Amino acid sequence: MKILISLALACLVLVLSGCSAPPENTPAEPQSEILPTPFILSDAKRAKYAADLFILLESESPEERKKAEDGLKQLTMPEHLAHLMSDLKNSDKRIAQAARDALAREGKTIKALERFEIPSLSEWNKARQELVELGPEALTAMVQLLTYKFMATDMVTQAWAREQISSSGKAVLKPAQAVLKSNKNAEIIRQLTLSIAEMGGIAEGTVKDIINSTDVSLTVSLTMIDSLGESGADYWIDKLGEMMLKASRWQVRAEAAMALGKFVDDRSYEYVIKGLDDSDDFVKQNSIKALGLIRDLACLPTLISLLDRNDKPELIDAAVVSLTQITGKRLGGRPEVWKRWWAENKNKYLEE
């Protein structure tokens, strides 16, 4: 079964215009039903038509190159490809050749991605090798690979694509941002965020822009925050702490608190403790839960005191769960029981 992709990468979209048929002696542009493809042309078979023309630009025959250029004129290109098309006519032969090479790589990338539509490990291995050989110019393809349905089962390709993305630097951030802003698939968001989280400061601007954007679904922002915690990259501790303390939306503050709980670090502990003073009960509740995940013994007196000065069941329940996680003791929700236990055992715990 052909693998369909639901993705809108603005920088890669080639929208075919309703122009006349391609010139004579060029590959005939097929007509078929609308099918999404890796590069989201308006038609799957037309994507292959465009790829063939891109690659034909490398031909040593001037006549063949002319056929390809004439065929490509029938397509409405996104800005970065339209610029390359105009460079083909540049009087400077070096510029023209560079444009020809770039467009040919575009075609080869489409061809490599097409291999992933074939349910065959050998084809996927060939595709991975082709993309590696294409180098940095295929980085956007790595981003797109994370959107394929088969990635849930092909862990090798998934891990490979994430490694390629995380080691690529700034070049991949623009296409990654386009995917994150337009996609609502939680697993795609998770995989891509995990990939760019490993870049640390290089990706900070992109991550903040998406999470703070009012044009992005709150679900996307929260999934990204959770994934930053899952990444385990210490760089994000202070960034998540800042979100938890300063974000205007309580949902973001609450999710940041839980993400901080995934870091066993003094910094994450200090931020989460401050979350207990938040004006929103959900943020307080998640901060209490996060303390249980961090398991710092220093917070035991604070958690016990929450049992004594709270009349909100959800906060009391969260405190009991965290106390149990940290101590391994199941003493219920009565503050006097926990106080007595702590008085008898605090020296032993603090010595540890």
Which residue is listed with tokens 């493809």? 37
How far apart (Å, rounded) are the C-alpha atoms in residues 162 and 147?
Answer: 12
Q: Are 9 and 178 in contact (CB under 8 A)?
A: yes
Instruction: Please give the structure tokens belonging to residue 120.
Output: 């065959």
Which residue is listed with tokens 């009960």? 281
The CATH classification of domain 234-352, taken from the options 1.25.10.10, 2.70.98.40, 3.30.70.20, 3.40.50.1000 = 1.25.10.10
Confidence band of 137 (pLDDT split at 50, 70, 90): low
Q: Are 39 and 48 in contact (CB under 8 A)?
A: no
Residues 115-132 have pLDDT tens digits of 777 777 788 788 878 877
How far apart (Å, rounded) are the C-alpha atoms in residues 74 and 21?
Answer: 8
Nearest Cα to Cα of residue 6 among 207, 147, 197, 186: 147
Q: Are 110 and 50 in contact (CB under 8 A)?
A: yes
Which residue is listed with tokens 């903040």? 208
Residues 62-115 have pLDDT tens digits of 899 888 888 888 777 666 677 788 888 888 989 988 888 888 888 888 788 777
Comparing 121 with 190, which gets the higher pLDDT?
190
Domain range annotation of the chain:
1-115, 234-352
Confidence band of 51 (pLDDT split at 50, 70, 90): confident
Close Cβ partners of 208 (under 8 Å, ≥ 6 residues apart): 239
Q: What is the DSSP string of 205-243?
A: HHHHHHHH-TTS-HHHHHHHHHHHHHH--TTHHHHHHHH
pLDDT for residue 326: 92
End-to-end Cα spacing for the chain = 58
How far apart (Å, rounded) are the C-alpha atoms in residues 38 and 52?
Answer: 15
The proportion of the chain whose per-residue pLDDT surpasses 90, expressed as a percent, equals 34
Confidence band of 287 (pLDDT split at 50, 70, 90): very high
Average pLDDT over residues 52-57: 86
The proportion of the chain whose per-residue pLDDT surpasses 70, expressed as a percent, equals 78
pLDDT for residue 323: 95
Phi/psi of residue 265, nearest 5 degrees: -150, 145
pLDDT for residue 112: 80
Residues 21-50 have pLDDT tens digits of 334 343 343 332 222 233 333 455 666 777
Phi/psi of residue 230, nearest 5 degrees: -65, -30
pLDDT for residue 83: 79
pLDDT for residue 348: 76
